[in-house]
Structure 1
Amino acid sequence: MATIRKEIMIEAKPEQVWDAVRDVGAVHRRFVPGYTVDTRLDGDYRILTFANGAVVRELIVAVDDEARRLAYAVVEGRMPLVHHHATFQVFAENDSRSRLVWITDFLPHELAAEIRMRVERGAEVMKQTIEAEVKAGSQCHMKGDEK
């Protein structure tokens, strides 16, 4: 089985990063907007529509608030995946910085280059989105303090 591990340093409190990660129905707004354009929930499943029109169905395996860990598996999609399971876990680096660890296990191995490219692009969007949300929230807070 192939594994891709990506660590993303995010300038945000771990609670803020986890809040975006655990919001499984708002991936297209809070986590990877533009990369995904729609998210629909169907029980324990979510259906993601990507900017290129591709649609995948994922099983949400676990949302663990105590460990700040989300586990999911792609169960239907356009790639010929035989197996896919991934996790996100949020760790505190300090009071205002977090490390988001994304681990993806999959088969067949031949998809490694394509999946790595998707992980790299997704990681960039996640970092930008969460940091922008935190910055916008702090600016709103500062404006409220001025009144």
Structure 2
Amino acid sequence: MASIRQEVVINAAAQHIWDVIRDVGAVHERLLPGRVAETRVAGVDRFLTFPDGHVIQELIVAIDDESRRLAYSVVEGARPALDYHHASFEVRAEGEYGRLIWTTDILPDTLAPEIRIRTQIGIAEMKKSIEAAEYEQP
């Protein structure tokens, strides 16, 4: 199983970063605006609609406020198709800022290079969105 880990320091308070990450129904507004067009939550399932109309269904496995950790799994709609997917976000305080850690486990291993590139791009976009929102606060 391939395990991909991305980390980035975000110029925002750790609690603000966590508030964005844990807001599972607002990915399109707070975490990845433009990349995700719509987010819908039904129980423990989250549906992300992309600008091209493609939908990914995720299972929200855990939201742990104490450890600032969110775990989820893509269960349908992954492109390319994955045999297995599990990922988590963790937010840690780092001085006045926060560190976002995104760990993704996938099968088949052969897709790791493509998923690694996607997560590199994704975490950079998240950093940009979270920092912009932090500076817009009164």
TM-score by length of 2: 0.95
Q: Which amino acid aligns with 2:106?
A: F
CA distance in 2, matches of 1:115, 1:56: 15
Note if 1:89 corresponds to 2:120.
no
**Which residue in 2 is equivalent to 1:68?**
68
Q: Give how far 1:10 is off.
A: 0.1
Q: Which is greater in Rg? A: 1
Note if 1:135 corresponds to 2:131.
no
**Which residue in 1 is equivalent to 2:80?**
79
- Name the one with the larger helix percent: 1
Q: Which amino acid aligns with 2:94?
A: E
**Which residue in 2 is equivalent to 1:125?**
125
Q: Which amino acid aligns with 1:80?
A: A
Q: What is the aligned length?
A: 137
Q: Which amino acid aligns with 1:67?
A: S
Question: Per the alignment, in what secondary structure is the counterpart of residue 6 of structure 2?
Answer: strand
CA distance in 1, matches of 2:86, 2:51: 22
Which region of structure 1 is more displaced relative to structure 2, 46-55 or 6-15? Answer: 46-55
Question: Per the alignment, in what secondary structure is the counterpart of residue 21 of structure 1?
Answer: helix
Question: Per the alignment, in what secondary structure is the counterpart of residue 36 of structure 1?
Answer: coil
Q: Which amino acid aligns with 1:121?
A: I
Q: Which amino acid aligns with 1:118?
A: R
Unaligned runs of 5+ in 1: 142-147
Question: Per the alignment, in what secondary structure is the counterpart of residue 8 of structure 2?
Answer: strand
Q: Which amino acid aligns with 1:17?
A: I
Note if 1:108 corresponds to 2:111.
no
**Which residue in 2 is equivalent to 1:5?**
5
- Give the percent of matched residue pairs that are identical in Structure 1 and Structure 2: 53
**Which residue in 2 is equivalent to 1:144?**
none
Say what the alpha-carbon RMSD is for the aligned residues.
Answer: 1.0
TM-score by length of 1: 0.90
Moved beyond 4 Å, runs of 4+:
none
CA distance in 1, matches of 2:112, 2:41: 28
